[in-house]
Amino acid sequence: MQRKRWAPATGVLVTALVVSACSNSPASLPYTAGAKVDCGGKQTLAASGSTAQANAMTRFVDAYRQACSGQTLNYTANGSGNGIANFLAGRTDFAGSDTPLSGEQYATARQRCGGADAWNLPVVFGPLAITYNLAAVDSLVLDAPTLAKIFNGTITRWDDPALTLLNASMPAEDIHVIYRSDGSGTTDNFQAYLQSASGGAWNKGAGKAFNGDVGTGAVGNTGIAAAVKNTEGAIGYTELSYALQQGLFAAEIKTPASRRSLRPVRIGTDTVGKTIRGARITGAGNDLVLDLSSFYNPAQPDVYPIVLATYEIVCSKYPTFDVAKAVKAFLQAAIGPGQIELAKSGYIPLSPEFQARVSAAVDAISSVDAPKSE
């Protein structure tokens, strides 16, 4: 059988970007025109956390520097778990996390914030790519039950009948699972998808630690992408921008809807945009926690099911005015001019309606002490 190398993740996304390029221009993101960025406060902010949003943060910091001359943010992409720990310990001004605070963490955050509540503000949406490295295949189609069995060690060969049922033929090779070895919101989201969508094939739950008991660990999205690229027969999960950077191959995903339409879903701004339009806020007030479970089993075709939201975890009221002022300015830049051309880095810009909701929460951030005379 004559076989050809399938287009890598970059090729998959290019078409989608061309189709939806207008949605990423300032004209079609009306909130970027004259977006308010109220500069001032602390000169250099510190934040850490999610590696999934690291490439988006580069764009956000650039937008912040352009809007607020002399101000910047130092962001350390050390994983969601470490980011939350640093914020709760007062070592950073806010955290980036692919999962919101838990019940006990809310109480600790209230102490860190001087008695004020902490808010989870979703600023970044990005799809998780199921990346793989096979020398010669036409394409790779997977569904949630098969993915679950690969990542729990039940399926160990690429020519397993479950895979040949989804794909015309597969190479006679061992599967090499690559997973996140650090505490990761990306892992939490991926396992939540498997738990919800696999029809019982994954019974190991979610959480920031990988529960599959199989494979080789790698640190961060960068580590997974590099390991997959350098390992024949490998499969892993990584935020899309890292797949783009490495030129990795991304699987198409069959969902309940695509099983009926006989058309698996590729990653793209159009298929992911449809996903996040269904995002539902379950948090109270300005704590904008989302229920992502509706993403996992889409009822409509051409909706990509594995999408995570990255939250910026902030104090609703900071102990000092300088920090509150600068955090607000950074977030205003991130959700305003920072959204322009965000899709080129593998992320999905906020819709105008959702941006307005986040903007209202950002504007409500305050401080205990009074502003200094300026």
Number of separate domains in the chain: 2
- Mean predicted lDDT score pLDDT of the chain: 89
Closest listed residue to residue 163, CA positions, set 175, 181, 177: 175
Q: Does one domain contain both 91 and 168?
A: no
- Residue 374 located in a structural domain: no
Q: Does one domain contain both 349 and 233?
A: no
- Residue 218 located in a structural domain: yes
- Residue 286 located in a structural domain: no
Q: Does one domain contain both 217 and 135?
A: yes
Q: Does one domain contain both 91 and 151?
A: no
Range(s) of the domain holding residue 199: 127-275
What one-letter code names the amino acid at 185? Answer: G
Q: Does one domain contain both 153 and 236?
A: yes
Token pair belonging to 74: 């130092």
Q: Does one domain contain both 103 and 142?
A: no
- Residue 163 located in a structural domain: yes
- CATH code of the domain containing 267: 3.40.190.10
Return the pLDDT at 22: 41
What percentage of the chain exceeds 70 in pLDDT? 90
Distance, CA of 361 to CA of 342 (rounded, Å): 21
| Residue 259 confidence (pLDDT) above 70 | no
- Residue 348 located in a structural domain: yes
Q: Does one domain contain both 270 and 131?
A: yes
Angle in degrees, CA 67, 73, 79, rounded to 5: 135
Q: Does one domain contain both 117 and 140?
A: no
Q: Does one domain contain both 132 and 262?
A: yes
Q: In this predicted model, what pLDDT tens digit does every residue of 332-372 receive, in sequence order?
A: 999 999 999 888 888 989 888 889 999 999 999 999 987 76
Beta bridge partners of 249: 132
Spatial CB neighbours of 165, under 8 Å, sequence gap ≥ 6: none
- Residue 287 located in a structural domain: no
- Is the pTM of the predicted complex or chain greater than 0.85? no
| Residue 318 confidence (pLDDT) above 70 | yes
Residue 344 DSSP code:
G
